Chains A and B, each alone.
Chain A
Amino acid sequence: MSTTDYLEKSRLRRFFEGDVWYSFTRNPVAIVAAVVTVGMILAALLAPLVAPHDPFDLAKLDIMDASLPPVWEAEGDARFLLGTDDQGRDILSTILYGARISLVVGFASVLFAMVVGIILGLISGYVGGRTDAFIMRIADIQLSFPAILIALLIDGVARGLIPKELHANISIYVLIFAIGVSGWVQYARTVRGSTLVEKNKEYVQAARVIGIRPLTILRRHVLPNVMGPVMVIATIHLAIAIITEATLSFLGVGVPPTTPSLGTLIRIGNEYLFSGDWWITIFPGATLVILVLAVNLLGDWMRDALNPKLR
Chain B
Amino acid sequence: MDLLNINNLRIEFPSRHGTVVAVDDVTLKVQPGEVLGVVGESGAGKSTIGNAVIGLLEPPGEMTGGHVFLKSKQIDTLGAEAKRKIRGRRIGMIFQDPLTSLDPLQTIEQQLVETIELHLKLGEKKSQERAVDLLRQVGIPDPETRIKNYPHQFSGGMRQRVVIALALCAEPEVIIADEPTTALDVSIQAQILDLMRRLCREKQVGMIIITHDMGVIADITDRVAVMYHGKLVEEGTTAKILGNPDHPYTQSLISAVPRPDIRLKRFPMVNYIEAESVRPRHIDLATHWLGKSRDFEDVSGPLLSLKNLVMTFVTRHSIIKSRRKTFNAVDDVSFDIAEGEVFGLVGESGSGKSTVARMVCSLYKPAAGEVNFAGTDLTKIASESERDHFRRQMQMIFQDPFSSLNGRMKVMDIIAEPIRFHKLARTNREVEQIVTDLLDHVGLGAKAAVRFPHEFSGGQRQRISIARALATRPRFLICDEPTSALDVSIQAQILNLLKDLQEQLGLTMLFISHDLPVIRQMCDRVGVMKQGKLVEVAATEDLFEKPQAAYTRELLDLMPRLDKLSHEGLEVEKA
Contact = CB atoms under 8 A, between A and B. Distances in A.
Interface string A186-208: 00000000000000011101111
A209 interface: yes
A210 interface: yes
A6 B455 CA distance: 11
A224 interface: yes
A225 B406 contact: yes
Contacts of B472: 210
Interface in A191-242: 201-203, 205-213, 220-221, 224-225
B65 to A, nearest CB: 28
Contacts of B394: 209
B236 interface: no
A7 interface: yes
Contacts of B418: 210
Contacts of A202: 398-400, 403-404
Given A6-B451, A212-B421, A206 B388 contact: no
Contacts of A22: 16
Contact of A3 (B387, B395, B422, B447): B447
B407 A225 contact: yes
B384 A211 contact: yes
B403 A201 contact: yes
Given A3-B447, A6-B451, A7-B450, A209 B404 contact: no
A222 to B, nearest CB: 9
B337 to A, nearest CB: 17
Given A3-B447, A202-B398, A206-B396, A211 B387 contact: yes
B363 A205 contact: yes
A9 to B, nearest CB: 11
A224 B408 contact: yes
B421 to A, nearest CB: 6
A209 B391 contact: yes
Contact of A221 (B16, B384, B406, B421): B406
Nearest to A213: B384
B541 interface: no
B199 interface: no
A206 B468 contact: yes
Interface string A5-26: 0110000000000000010000
B262 interface: no
Most buried by A among B403, B405, B407: B403
A212 B409 CA distance: 15
B417 A212 contact: yes
B361 interface: yes
B384 A203 contact: no
A17 to B, nearest CB: 10
Nearest to B448: A3
Nearest to A222: B406
A212 B465 CA distance: 16
Given A209-B391, A210-B417, A203 B363 contact: no
Nearest to A2: B447
Contact of B391 (A203, A210, A224): A210
Contacts of B362: 209
Contacts of B395: 209-210
Nearest to A207: B417
Interface in B366-405: 384, 387-388, 391-392, 394-396, 398-400, 403-405
B407 A211 contact: no
A82 B388 CA distance: 70
Contacts of B16: 22
Contacts of A7: 450
Contacts of B358: 205
Nearest to A210: B418
Interface string B484-505: 0000000000000000000000
A3 B384 CA distance: 40
Nearest to B397: A206
Nearest to B408: A224
Contacts of B409: 220, 224
A211 B418 CA distance: 8
A307 to B, nearest CB: 16
Given A225-B406, A225-B408, A206 B391 contact: no
B391 A211 contact: yes
A196 to B, nearest CB: 14
Contacts of A209: 361-363, 391, 394-396
B408 to A, nearest CB: 4
Interface string B418-444: 100110000000000000000000000
B510 to A, nearest CB: 13
A220 B395 CA distance: 20
Nearest to B395: A209
Nearest to B468: A206
A209 B390 CA distance: 10
Given A202-B399, A203-B405, A225-B408, A210 B421 contact: yes
Nearest to A225: B408
A202 B404 CA distance: 4
Contacts of B398: 202, 205-206
Nearest to B394: A209
Nearest to B390: A211
A215 to B, nearest CB: 12
Interface string B446-460: 010011000000000
A92 B199 CA distance: 80
Contacts of B361: 209
A210 B465 CA distance: 12
B434 to A, nearest CB: 15
Contacts of B407: 225
A206 B421 contact: no
A203 B406 contact: yes
A219 to B, nearest CB: 12
A203 B453 CA distance: 12
B404 A203 contact: yes
A22 B451 CA distance: 21
Contacts of B451: 3, 6
A201 B399 CA distance: 11
B203 to A, nearest CB: 39
B419 to A, nearest CB: 10
A211 B396 contact: no
Contacts of A203: 403-406
Contact of A206 (B392, B404, B408): B404
Interface string A238-263: 00000000000000000000000000
A32 B100 CA distance: 41
Most buried by A among B399, B406, B418, B421: B406
B168 to A, nearest CB: 33
Nearest to A129: B317
B109 to A, nearest CB: 33
B422 A211 contact: yes
Nearest to B417: A210
A22 B405 CA distance: 26
A203 B418 CA distance: 13
Nearest to A221: B406
Contacts of A225: 406-408
Contacts of B421: 210-212
A185 B403 CA distance: 28
Contacts of A6: 450-451
A203 B294 CA distance: 26
Contacts of A3: 447, 450-451
16 contacts: A6-B450, A7-B450, A201-B403, A201-B404, A202-B404, A203-B406, A206-B468, A209-B391, A209-B396, A210-B395, A210-B418, A210-B472, A212-B417, A220-B409, A225-B407, A225-B408
The 5 closest A-B pairs by CB, nearest first: A202-B404, A224-B408, A202-B398, A211-B391, A3-B447
Given A202-B400, A210-B395, 9 more contacts: A202-B398, A202-B403, A203-B406, A205-B363, A207-B406, A209-B361, A209-B395, A220-B406, A221-B406
